[in-house]
């Protein structure tokens, strides 16, 4: 019998308070008014309305903040400005335990795609590692598919457990919580949530139905190969990128885009001091690859779109054995000009091999 | 960078209200500052030597001096650091005297403020880059605006120095106010006798081009290369044909024209030559008084002119001259004294201005040198001179002294006695200002030898006494009692004001003027003939009240400045100009549209439209930099990054 | 921090070198006692003062900013201060919508001889700044979240495109396509509700051409990319005005364009419709009629009032008349000059200064700096060279602070001043729905007020107000400092 627990809708607040008591900073989806509603992952406080909607922007910033201080530097001087020393303050171990509530499976799977280069490469990134270690992910399964998302194309699904510590299923009157990892099991064990019992079966049924509701996924196994073939086919990419505005919406809403820029920002304090920042960067912008000489290997938006798509569906799989796209569909919905990554990948696959090569320019 | 900071005491000027040692100690902690000290007088020879020594000793590559205004000593210290091998633009000044020590007495607040201003300078300096001037050729010609004595002197000195001169005079003749004078103080020699030959020299000098009856319409360009559009106002007489014979004046039937040269005390003909010694001695038709030009039938002058010089259809014409320097010598005008009710608002014909009185005394004037009352032509026996009419009068916003009235009034009193031995002159004065060589002696002679009665006090009222004379009521403040004098003639020492149109000209010249329209010199004491616009100099009263010797001296001084400027074949350009970053420029043309100097054009670089700065035209205002949305055009030495660093230095601490 | 720093306020002065800096010197020489708060930055000319310097100072903690230059007509650079006057006056009117007290900013003219005037100006301004509270710290303000779903009556009621318009348009394009490199239009994207830009090259592409109230993208945005090529473009009123602006800036050539002008009675706010529809898997049908908007998703038909789902940026639009066109299709409404206030602006209008600042503090926090707003703007011609990302000049830090995010919106808005044609693409494309159109709409309102009803893009021959001046400005009341 399962160890699933049941969390009643009206007990959500208490549960999150309990998690806070365990030392977690809790992030949950929150609706913010604007021209239209926007759902963002923001720190939850007692009294905050609890949202279960899919967030507009992925929770990636919990692991990779929009900008983070890598270290602080300060040039200190002695008497009369004579002797001097540079002081560096390491900020890599400052992250606090964080609980992410009501991410979606695509968000959680996204974490695993960022984990690989940041944790499993030659060097583990200490900033990322510290935050990752402290992050507990409670994922809400999707009860249906959606016109813009395509998690099952990329190896995931509406109840995919990858990247989650606890998987939650919404059964209307409450959530059924199923521990996936040890961290999840521990959290459930520390809680006083009742056992799910029959609700657990109900949840299983809902998850099965969600899977059933999905349209059939196309076979993308040929994608890496085809995209490599197409790497230099400027005509293909020019056509695909014609409408692209070179903004960064797709990369910044994406749960798996992890590119960054490093910059030093001075503080004007009367001393030489400042911070080294790591901040989000977008490969769709021209300056992303601009070299100091002025030369730019990806001066054209066609080249940049090629890079982005190929990285997700060819380059990354080559290195890490999986697509670096969790199919959340946010790039599709938020692209101002409706560039649809699904169509591009399918178009690449549909192109006969010979044509892909022949059209090389 | 390795920056040295020098916090100047300026004796007690700064150190009196700023803790200089404390500022230096704070500055030592600022980024890149490796040396900070607080000398007594940084600008003095030992102070400058100390900067040079520090540059060598501490291997400085940038220097900040906190002292007086950069408008004062920035050039001095740029030369200092240059002598020590630094680029002159690797230098910044913090103004802790005019902007700190002199305007506040709180030592703590001043010290804090001074330290922040030094930080501002340090942060700016850290973003400075060496700048290098370029050489550009100079048009070695000078434009002199105004043909009064100052302009004449400047023109002759320049021409004698081998510089071609373009002299523009608004009136039909040069000579200015001095040409109207009878005698000059303190020597009482004849004005015409000393000015006349100079005027002739102007006419005859092969290097002087004279445009009389002309005005400056437009000025463009910059030091070394100005382009000046001159409007030659229609004279209706072809001067190339006019011989100045004067037949036209004799025959002209319109004899009621205002005689401006004679200050309105007489009338003249519609076609006229200002005075017998006029240069050029050419006739001009006053359009408003000419019957032919007013649409009536006449044409007499055309009929009698022996050379057929009359041209009723003449229009204004324009000529463009290219010059490398400009001297403004536009002189002054008298204020409109008729605003004074106590002097009769100009209703009494026998209350006249002192300049009109000069014309009455002048042998070439309408009375041929006989002093006769305008009202009835009688010789006046009792003459009252009133000083400071429109000078030193804050009630009319004329707080300044016109400078030379005390002296010419003494002269006029002396001459009156010479002309009419049985006359008695009275002078109502506020103070007698006679500081020049032989001046005070002169005013004493007027009193002691010529019996002029000086009354210290103001005139309260002048009114006709009904017997053909004027009653002048005033106060003798020395005796402390009212005085009443019956006068045949009252002469007002009318105050001066900036020449009509001076402000408009200043705007064309891009120079400043003060609240009264007098042009601003670059520095009150040390740069009295320079302006803030390179290549534009000042001479004479246009800069402020002064008498003939001072005007002549300034004319020569301005000429010396022109000759100095032209001593080199090329001038060094100001390297603080805008530069376009071609990578960033998208060719939208916003900078081209608003550049005040037309110094930005477009060019094609690899098929793309880009802005391009014409280096010699750019004056460095930075309007383009403030306009360019992508920051592609940056003004050197005032780049966005430099100003942002200054803002941040102030707002983030 | 010395004690004095606690009693002083932070006042930044930008003084032109030739007049005002000299005037401050003159005041110093005359030992004219002044408050010690002011710190002077010397600039060559008041025209050098980018209004963004002023905003930067105010956002970063300055309590007051004073700009002073030569008197009008007396500029050392002859006209620099005339431009400065327009830009700084505009700034003065812009600050309140940000929630910054305009009393914190003043500009004036002081000549090199006017030491006394300088003393008076500094003393007065410093007193005024002391009379205000210290400037609030933007980052530390409590966010204020407000709904801006107020209903505003559209200036012109919504109407769908006439049924025959598309066919006529296709015919016209078919005629002209052979002489054109491509024609910029729209097609349906992932479903009927989502239109995307479309670049027609061949006759068979005409099949896919789409034309309805979901086709929101401003195609003018793409034109500079096609400079030198003959292209056709489909434009509505606001887009034709954007096109005029690009012509004014010389970024496109009229002879290269074939303009197909179509009428427009408002676009649908697709994002809000999506919100209503919720999560769906298949959109099966979309019918847009004058009074009803019917959408079938996952087998269920939903019905909406199109009037209630108009894009807020379209509500104030008075005219769809094209300024320029080669082929005009349909009939147009001539415009009047008093547009209604966009609802997002009306919302801000109803707040006090502190509330406005708190409002921006709230909404700007979720900005992800993706720059969709900028990159979809047809008037953002800097494209890859925006100062937001440049390191030299270094206007913006890479730090994702709410101040930096807000400052970018201020940069964007001020760069659009006098150029924005009000298409609203910036706001429509914001992934997180920040009501940034309010800033543009406000500036458009101010521009019209200050510069005799000027509206960007109405006249290809007009000189944009910030790139020109009048010696005597009709609508600028300069401060007297009595």
| pLDDT 10s digits, B392-446 | 999 998 999 999 999 999 999 999 999 999 999 999 999 999 999 999 999 999 9
Secondary structure string (H, E, C) spanning chain C = CCHHHHHCCCEEEEEECCCHHHHHHHHHHCCCCCCCCEEEEEECCHHHCCHHHHHHHHHCCCCEEEEEECCCCCCCCCCHHHHHHHHHHHHHHHHHHHCCCHHHEEEEECCCCCHHHHHHHHHHHHHHHHHCCCCCCHHHCCCCCCCCCCCCCCCCCCCCCCCCHHHHHHHHHHHHHHHCCEEEEEEECCCCCCEEEEEECCHHHHHHEECCCCCCCCHHHHHHHHCCCCEEEEECHHHHHHHHHHHHCCCCCHHHEEEEECCCCCCECHHHHHHHHCCCCCEEEEEECCCCEEEEECCEEEEECHHHHECHHHHCCCCCCCCCCCEECCCCCCCCCCCCCCHHHHHHHCCCHHHHHHHHHHHHCCCCCCCHHHHCCCCCCCHHHCCCCCCCCCCCCCCCCHHHHHHHHHHHHHHHCCCCCCCCHHHHCCCCCCCCHHHHHHHHHHHHHHCCCCCCCCCCCCCCHHHCCCCCCCCCCCCCCC
Q: Which of C147, C138, C148, C146 is nearest to C354 (CA)?
A: C138
Classify B12 as helix, strand or coil.
Answer: helix
| pLDDT 10s digits, A6-40 | 999 999 999 999 999 999 999 999 998 877 788 99
Helices (H), ranges, chain A = 12-21, 105-119, 126-133, 182-190, 198-213, 223-229, 234-241, 249-253, 301-310, 316-320, 330-334, 341-350, 353-358
pLDDT confidence of A354, banded at 50, 70, 90? low
- B3-125 matches B335-497 in fold: no
Say yes or no for a CB contact (<8 Å) between C363 and A32: yes
In the prediction, which pLDDT does B264 show? 86
C-alpha to C-alpha distance for C440 and B189, rounded to whole angstroms: 74
**Whether the predicted pLDDT of B56 surpasses 80:** yes
Please report the residues numbered 546 through 585 in chain B whose beta carbons come closer than 8 angstroms to any beta carbon of chain C: 576, 583-585
| pLDDT 10s digits, B304-336 | 999 999 999 999 999 999 999 999 999 999 999
For residue C399, the chain A residues in CB contact (below 8 A) are: 67, 265, 275, 277, 279
Best C78, C91, C415, C472 residue to mutate vs chain B (most B CBs within 10 Å) = C78
pLDDT confidence of A361, banded at 50, 70, 90? very low
CB–CB of C20/C44 below 8 Å? Answer: no
Residues 6+ apart with CB under 8 A from A15: A7, A191, A193
Q: Which of B492, B504, B495 is nearest to B541 (CA)?
A: B495
Best C148, C194, C370 residue to mutate vs chain A (most A CBs within 10 Å) = C370
- Put the strands of the sheet holding B489-494 in their side by side order: B351-353, B489-494, B382-389, B424-429, B453-456
Q: How many CB pairs under 8 A join A and B?
A: 38
Closest chain C residue by Cα to residue A36: C433
The distance of C304 to chain A (nearest Cα, Å) reads 17
Phi then psi for B605, rounded to 5 degrees?
Answer: -115, 120
- Render each residue's pLDDT in chain C as its tens digit; 482 residues: 566 667 999 999 999 999 999 999 999 999 999 999 999 999 999 999 999 999 999 999 999 999 999 998 888 888 899 999 999 999 999 999 999 999 999 999 999 989 999 999 999 999 999 999 999 999 999 999 887 665 667 778 898 888 899 999 999 999 999 999 999 999 999 999 999 999 999 999 999 999 999 999 999 999 999 988 999 999 999 999 999 999 999 899 999 999 999 999 999 999 989 989 999 999 999 999 999 999 999 999 999 999 889 998 888 888 889 999 999 998 898 876 566 788 889 999 999 999 999 999 999 999 999 999 999 999 999 988 999 999 999 999 999 999 999 999 999 999 999 999 999 999 999 999 999 999 999 999 999 999 999 999 998 888 899 999 998 999 999 998 88
CB–CB of C132/C103 below 8 Å? Answer: yes
Q: Pick from A77, A266, A268: which is nearest to B29 by CB?
A: A77
Say yes or no for a CB contact (<8 Å) between A268 and B653: yes
Interchain CB contact of B97 with C (< 8 Å): yes
Is omega for the bond preceding B347 within 30 degrees of 0, making it cis?
no
Q: Pick from A144, A251, A277: which is nearest to C281 by CB?
A: A144
**Whether the predicted pLDDT of B653 surpasses 90:** no
Tell me which CATH code domain B578-636 carries.
3.30.70.3270
Largest CA distance in chain B: 91
The distance of A273 to chain B (nearest Cα, Å) reads 9
Q: Pick from A75, A80, A268: which is nearest to B28 by CB?
A: A80
Say yes or no for a CB contact (<8 Å) between A270 and B34: no
In the prediction, which pLDDT does B617 show? 82
Break chain A into its structural domains and give their ranges: 5-356
Q: Which of B301, B415, B296 is nearest to B357 (CA)?
A: B415
Residues 6+ apart with CB under 8 A from C480: none
Chains with at least 3 CB pairs less than 8 angstroms from chain A: B, C
Say yes or no for a CB contact (<8 Å) between B102 and C29: yes
Break chain B into its structural domains and give their ranges: 3-125, 142-233+316-331+499-565, 247-304, 335-497, 578-636
Say yes or no for a CB contact (<8 Å) between C114 and B112: no
CATH 3.10.620.30 fits B142-233+316-331+499-565, yes or no: no
Q: Report CA torsion sign: A48, A50, A53, A54.
A: positive
Chains with at least 3 CB pairs less than 8 angstroms from chain B: A, C
Tell me which CATH code domain B335-497 carries.
3.50.50.60
CB count in 10 Å sphere of residue C160? 18
CA quadruple C439, C441, C442, C446: dihedral, nearest 10: 130
The CA radius of gyration of chain B, in Å to the nearest whole number, is: 30
Best C12, C77, C90, C114 residue to mutate vs chain B (most B CBs within 10 Å) = C77
Say yes or no for a CB contact (<8 Å) between A81 and B36: yes
CB count in 10 Å sphere of residue A193? 21
Q: Which of B170, B191, B188 is nearest to B180 (CA)?
A: B191
CB–CB of C159/C290 below 8 Å? Answer: yes
**How many Cα neighbours within 13 Å face the side chain of B359?**
21
Tokens 């098929």 correspond to: B607
CB–CB of B334/B496 below 8 Å? Answer: yes
Say yes or no for a CB contact (<8 Å) between C17 and B71: yes
For residue A269, the chain B residues in CB contact (below 8 A) are: 652-653
Best A81, A272, A286, A292 residue to mutate vs chain B (most B CBs within 10 Å) = A81
In the prediction, which pLDDT does A81 show? 55
CA distances from B25 to A75, B22, B37, C428 (A): 16, 5, 8, 55
Tokens 């090629």 correspond to: A306
For residue B119, the chain A residues in CB contact (below 8 A) are: 270
Q: Please name each of the domains of chain C with its CATH number.
A: 11-135 (3.40.50), 165-275+311-328 (no CATH), 343-450 (no CATH)
Closest chain C residue by Cα to residue B114: C39
Structure tokens at B341: 């009710």
In the prediction, which pLDDT does A360 show? 46
Q: Exposed/middle/buried for A25, CB within 10 Å: 0-12, 13-18, 19+?
A: middle
Full-model pTM: 0.85
The distance of B652 to chain A (nearest Cα, Å) reads 6
Q: How many CB pairs under 8 A join A and C?
A: 157
In the prediction, which pLDDT does A1 show? 46
Residues 6+ apart with CB under 8 A from C413: C94, C436, C439, C440, C443
The distance of A74 to chain B (nearest Cα, Å) reads 10
Task: Identify the DSSP state of B201.
Answer: H
The distance of C196 to chain A (nearest Cα, Å) reads 5
The distance of C36 to chain B (nearest Cα, Å) reads 7
Q: Angle CA(B497)–CA(B503)–CA(B504) in degrees, nearest 5?
A: 140
Q: Pick from B34, B645, B653: which is nearest to A270 by CB?
A: B653
| pLDDT 10s digits, B249-289 | 999 999 999 998 999 888 999 999 989 899 999 999 999 99
CB–CB of B325/B558 below 8 Å? Answer: no
Structure tokens at C414: 């001020």
Say yes or no for a CB contact (<8 Å) between A294 and B31: no
Q: Exposed/middle/buried for B245, CB within 10 Å: 0-12, 13-18, 19+?
A: middle
The distance of C322 to chain B (nearest Cα, Å) reads 23
C-alpha to C-alpha distance for C180 and C281, rounded to whole angstroms: 39
Q: Specify the pairing of strand A272-280 against strand B3-7.
A: unpaired
Phi then psi for A169, rounded to 5 degrees?
Answer: -120, 130
Q: Exposed/middle/buried for B615, CB within 10 Å: 0-12, 13-18, 19+?
A: middle
For residue B651, the chain C residues in CB contact (below 8 A) are: 10, 12, 56-57, 60-62
| pLDDT 10s digits, B519-547 | 989 888 888 999 988 899 999 999 999 99
Best B25, B98, B592 residue to mutate vs chain C (most C CBs within 10 Å) = B98
pLDDT confidence of A83, banded at 50, 70, 90? low
Helices (H), ranges, A67-197 = 105-119, 126-133, 182-190
CATH 3.40.50 fits B3-125, yes or no: yes
Tokens 């209706």 correspond to: B236
Q: How many CB pairs under 8 A join B and C?
A: 222
| pLDDT 10s digits, B170-229 | 999 999 999 999 999 999 999 999 999 999 999 999 999 999 999 999 998 888 999 999
Please provide the average confidence, as pLDDT, over all residues in chain A: 92
| pLDDT 10s digits, B245-257 | 999 999 999 999 9
Best B23, B31, B127, B650 residue to mutate vs chain A (most A CBs within 10 Å) = B31
Classify B611 as helix, strand or coil.
Answer: strand
Structure tokens at B55: 């540059």
pLDDT confidence of B604, banded at 50, 70, 90? very high
The distance of B627 to chain A (nearest Cα, Å) reads 23
Q: Exposed/middle/buried for B246, CB within 10 Å: 0-12, 13-18, 19+?
A: middle
The distance of A139 to chain B (nearest Cα, Å) reads 42
Say yes or no for a CB contact (<8 Å) between B110 and C113: no
CB count in 10 Å sphere of residue B426? 21
Closest chain A residue by Cα to residue C394: A265
Q: Angle CA(C244)–CA(C246)–CA(C252) in degrees, nearest 5?
A: 110
Q: Considering chain A, what percentage of its residues have pLDDT values greater than 70?
A: 96
CA distances from B199 to B149, B156, B613, C46, C332 (A): 9, 9, 44, 44, 74
Q: Pick from C42, C113, C383: which is nearest to B520 by CB?
A: C113
C-alpha to C-alpha distance for B543 and B531, rounded to whole angstroms: 10
């Amino acid at each position: 019998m399962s160890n699933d627990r049941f969390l009643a809708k009206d007990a959500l607040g208490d549960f999150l308070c309990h998690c806070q008591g365990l030392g977690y900073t809790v992030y949950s989806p929150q609706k913010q008014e604007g021209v239209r509603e926007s759902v963002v992952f923001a720190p939850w406080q007692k009294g905050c309305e609890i949202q279960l909607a899919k967030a507009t922007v992925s929770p990636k910033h919990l692991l990779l903040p929009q900008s983070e201080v890598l270290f602080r530097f300060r040039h200190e001087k002695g008497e009369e400005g004579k002797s001097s020393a540079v002081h560096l303050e390491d900020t890599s171990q400052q992250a606090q335990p964080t609980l992410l509530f009501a991410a979606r499976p695509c968000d959680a799977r996204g974490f695993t795609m960022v984990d690989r280069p940041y944790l499993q490469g030659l060097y583990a990134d200490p900033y990322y590692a510290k935050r990752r270690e402290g992050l507990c992910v409670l994922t809400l399964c999707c009860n249906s598919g959606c016109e813009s998302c395509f998690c099952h194309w990329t190896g995931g699904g509406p109840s995919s457990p990858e990247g989650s510590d606890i998987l939650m299923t919404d059964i209307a009157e409450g959530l059924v919580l199923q521990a996936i990892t040890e961290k999840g099991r521990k959290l459930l064990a520390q809680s006083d949530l009742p056992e799910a019992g029959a609700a657990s079966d109900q949840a299983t049924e809902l998850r099965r139905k969600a899977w059933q509701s999905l349209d059939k996924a196309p076979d993308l196994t040929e994608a890496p190969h085809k995209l490599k073939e197409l790497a230099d086919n400027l005509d293909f990419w020019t056509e695909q990128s014609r409408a692209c505005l070179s903004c960064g919406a797709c990369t910044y809403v994406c749960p798996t885009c992890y590119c960054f820029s490093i910059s030093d920002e001075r503080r004007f304090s009367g001393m030489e001091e400042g911070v080294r920042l790591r901040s989000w960067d977008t490969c769709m912008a021209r300056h992303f690859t601009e070299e100091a000489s002025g030369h730019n290997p990806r001066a054209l938006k066609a080249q940049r779109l090629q890079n982005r798509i190929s990285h997700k569906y060819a380059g990354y799989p080559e290195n890490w054995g999986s697509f670096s796209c969790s199919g959340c569909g946010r790039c599709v919905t938020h692209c101002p000009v409706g560039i649809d990554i699904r169509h591009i990948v399918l178009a690449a696959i549909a192109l006969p091999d010979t044509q892909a090569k022949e059209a090389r320019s | 960078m390795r920056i040295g900071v020098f916090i100047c005491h300026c004796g007690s000027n700064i150190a009196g209200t700023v803790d200089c040692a404390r500022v230096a100690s704070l500055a030592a902690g600022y980024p890149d500052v490796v040396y900070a000290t607080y000398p007594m007088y940084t600008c003095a020879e030992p102070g400058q030597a100390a900067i040079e020594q520090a540059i060598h000793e501490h291997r400085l590559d940038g220097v900040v001096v906190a002292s007086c205004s950069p408008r004062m000593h920035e050039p001095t210290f740029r030369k200092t650091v240059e002598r020590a091998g630094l680029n002159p633009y690797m230098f910044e000044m913090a103004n802790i005297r005019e902007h700190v020590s002199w305007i506040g007495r709180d030592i703590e607040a001043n010290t804090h403020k001074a330290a922040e201003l030094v930080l501002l300078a340090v942060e700016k300096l850290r973003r400075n880059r060496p700048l290098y001037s370029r050489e550009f050729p100079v048009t070695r010609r000078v434009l002199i605006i105004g043909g009064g004595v100052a302009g004449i002197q400047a023109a002759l000195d320049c021409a004698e120095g081998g510089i071609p001169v373009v002299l523009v005079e608004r009136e039909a003749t040069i000579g200015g106010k001095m040409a109207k004078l009878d005698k000059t103080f303190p020597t009482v020699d004849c004005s015409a006798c000393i000015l006349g030959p100079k005027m002739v020299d102007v006419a005859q000098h092969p290097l002087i081009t004279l445009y009389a009856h002309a005005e400056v319409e437009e000025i463009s360009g910059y030091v070394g290369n100005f382009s000046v559009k001159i409007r030659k106002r229609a004279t209706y007489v072809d001067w190339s044909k006019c011989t100045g014979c004067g037949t036209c004046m004799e025959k002209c039937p319109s004899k009621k024209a205002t005689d401006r040269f004679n200050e309105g005390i007489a009338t003249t003909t519609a076609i006229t030559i200002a005075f017998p010694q006029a240069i050029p001695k050419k006739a001009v038709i006053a359009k408003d008084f000419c019957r032919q030009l007013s649409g009536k039938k006449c044409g007499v002058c055309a009929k009698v002119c022996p050379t057929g010089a009359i041209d009723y259809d003449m229009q204004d014409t324009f000529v463009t001259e290219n010059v490398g320097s400009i001297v403004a010598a536009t002189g002054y005008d008298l204020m409109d004294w008729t605003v004074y009710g106590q002097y009769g608002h100009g209703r009494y014909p026998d209350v006249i201005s002192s300049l009109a009185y000069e014309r009455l005394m002048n042998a070439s004037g309408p009375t041929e040198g006989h002093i006769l009352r305008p009202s009835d032509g009688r010789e006046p026996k009792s003459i009252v001179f009133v000083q400071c009419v429109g000078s030193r009068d804050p009630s009319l916003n004329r707080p300044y002294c016109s400078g030379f009235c005390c002296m010419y009034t003494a002269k006029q009193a002396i001459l009156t006695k010479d002309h009419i031995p049985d006359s008695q002159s009275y002078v109502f004065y506020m103070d007698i200002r006679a500081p020049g060589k032989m001046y005070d002696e002169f005013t004493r002679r007027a009193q002691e030898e010529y019996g002029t009665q000086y009354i210290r006090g103001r005139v309260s009222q002048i009114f006709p006494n009904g017997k053909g004379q004027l009653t002048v009521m005033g106060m003798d403040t020395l005796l402390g009692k009212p005085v009443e004098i019956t006068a045949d003639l009252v002469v007002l020492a009318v105050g001066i004001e900036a020449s009509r149109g001076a402000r408009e000209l200043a705007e064309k010249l891009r120079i400043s003027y003060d609240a009264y329209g007098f042009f601003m010199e670059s520095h009150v004491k040390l740069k009295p003939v320079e302006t803030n616009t390179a290549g534009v100099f000042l001479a004479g009263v246009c800069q402020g009240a002064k008498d003939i010797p001072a005007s002549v001296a300034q004319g020569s001084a301005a000429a010396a400045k022109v000759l100095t400027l032209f001593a080199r074949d090329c001038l060094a350009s100001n390297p603080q100009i805008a530069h376009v970053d071609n990578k960033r420029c998208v060719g939208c043309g916003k900078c081209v549209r608003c550049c005040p100097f037309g110094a930005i054009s477009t060019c094609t670089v690899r098929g793309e439209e880009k802005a391009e700065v014409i280096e010699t035209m750019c004056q460095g205002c930075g309007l383009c930099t403030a306009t360019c949305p992508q920051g592609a055009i940056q003004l050197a030495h005032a780049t966005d990054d430099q100003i942002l660093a200054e803002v941040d230095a102030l707002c983030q601490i | 921090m010395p004690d004095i720093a606690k009693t002083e306020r932070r006042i930044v002065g930008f003084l032109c070198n030739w007049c005002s800096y000299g005037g401050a010197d003159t005041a110093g020489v005359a030992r004219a006692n002044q408050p010690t708060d002011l710190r002077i930055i010397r600039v060559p000319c008041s025209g050098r003062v980018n209004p963004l310097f002023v905003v930067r100072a105010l956002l970063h903690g300055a309590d007051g900013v004073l700009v002073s230059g030569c008197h009008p007509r007396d500029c050392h650079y002859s006209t620099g201060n005339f431009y400065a006057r327009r830009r700084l006056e505009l700034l003065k009117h812009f600050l309140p919508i940000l929630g910054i007290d305009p009393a914190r900013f003043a500009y004036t003219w002081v000549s090199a001889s006017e030491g006394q005037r300088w003393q008076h100006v500094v003393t007065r301004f410093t007193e005024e700044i002391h009379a205000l509270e210290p400037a609030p710290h933007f980052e530390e303000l409590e966010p204020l979240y407000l709904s801006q779903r107020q209903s505003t009556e559209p200036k012109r009621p919504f109407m769908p495109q006439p049924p025959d318009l598309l066919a006529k348009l296709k015919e016209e394009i078919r005629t002209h396509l052979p002489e054109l490199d491509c024609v910029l239009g729209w097609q349906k994207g992932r479903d009927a509700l989502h239109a995307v830009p479309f670049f027609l090259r061949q006759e068979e592409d005409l099949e896919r051409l789409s034309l309805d109230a979901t086709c929101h993208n401003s195609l003018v945005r793409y034109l500079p990319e096609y400079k030198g090529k003959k292209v056709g473009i489909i434009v509505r009123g606001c887009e034709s005005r954007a096109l005029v602006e690009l012509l004014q800036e010389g970024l496109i050539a009229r002879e290269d364009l074939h303009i197909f002008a179509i009428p427009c009675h408002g676009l649908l706010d697709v994002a809000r419709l999506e919100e209503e529809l919720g999560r769906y898997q298949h959109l099966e049908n979309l019918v847009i009629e004058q009074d009803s908007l019917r959408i079938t998703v996952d087998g269920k038909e939903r019905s909406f009032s199109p009037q209630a789902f108009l894009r807020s940026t379209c509500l104030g639009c008075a005219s769809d008349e094209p300024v320029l066109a080669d082929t005009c299709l349909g009939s147009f409404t001539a415009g009047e000059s008093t547009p209604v206030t966009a609802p997002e602006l009306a919302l801000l209008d109803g707040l006090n200064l502190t509330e406005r600042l708190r409002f921006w503090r709230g909404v700007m926090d979720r900005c992800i700096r993706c720059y969709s707003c900028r990159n979809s703007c047809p008037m953002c011609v800097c494209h890859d060279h925006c100062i937001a990302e440049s390191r030299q000049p270094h206007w913006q830090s890479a730090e994702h602070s709410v101040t930096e995010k807000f400052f970018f919106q201020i940069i964007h808005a001020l760069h659009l001043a006098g150029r924005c044609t009000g298409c609203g693409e910036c706001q429509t494309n914001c992934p997180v729905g920040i009501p940034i159109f309010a800033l543009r709409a406000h500036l458009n309102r101010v521009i019209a007020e200050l510069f005799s009803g000027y509206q960007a893009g109405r006249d290809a021959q007009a000189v944009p107000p910030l790139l020109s001046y009048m010696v005597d400005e009709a609508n600028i009341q300069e401060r007297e400092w009595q």
